[in-house]
Structure 1
């Protein structure tokens, strides 16, 4: 099975879980990890600009990585998944949790 098929299956499963576990619109917590010395944090910040998101960052113990937590109200699971895909396409080396 190729990666794109696995990725789409993951998002379909996530969408079903989100519909089952929350009433929409709802607050959603995104978590990402990027290299500290990259522009990843700023790029992620810009992708959530104008959404009323609360963004917090935490550097790893050795400072090589930065975790980015974003709490934002999303209208539905499709919007959540669209934002995950947008981050994955636009931020090099990002890890989504």
Structure 2
């Protein structure tokens, strides 16, 4: 994924915050909003496959969107950002 200047700055700030505030390895909670499409949800879940992640999904009231929460132990701030970048390649996903 090609990052624009704002995206790059966002991830640099996130990395700094994670470095300053957390002792690694540590649990991290990812939250994503995705159109309610089983394929897209499966793609997100596959990114965290074999990581012993706790994954919860919840449909919106109209069923148009699905919230995906993933709690997983991560090794470093760089590893956290790497997963965000992988998920960002899935069309329609919003990272919270």
Distance in 1 (alpha carbons) for counterparts of 2:44 and 2:38: 11
Tell me the residue number matched to 1:93: 92
Query: Which deviates more from structure 2 when the two are superposed, residues 31-40 or residues 13-22?
Result: 31-40
Tell me the residue number matched to 1:64: 64
Tell me the residue number matched to 2:73: 73
Tell me by how many angstroms 1:38 deviates.
Answer: 5.3
How high is the TM-score relative to the length of structure 1?
A: 0.93
Q: SS of the residue aligned with 1:58?
A: strand
Distance in 2 (alpha carbons) for counterparts of 1:15 and 1:40: 26
Q: 1:72 to 1:38 in 2, by over 3 A?
A: same
Moved over 6 A (4+): none
Question: Gapped runs of 5+ residues in structure 1?
Answer: none
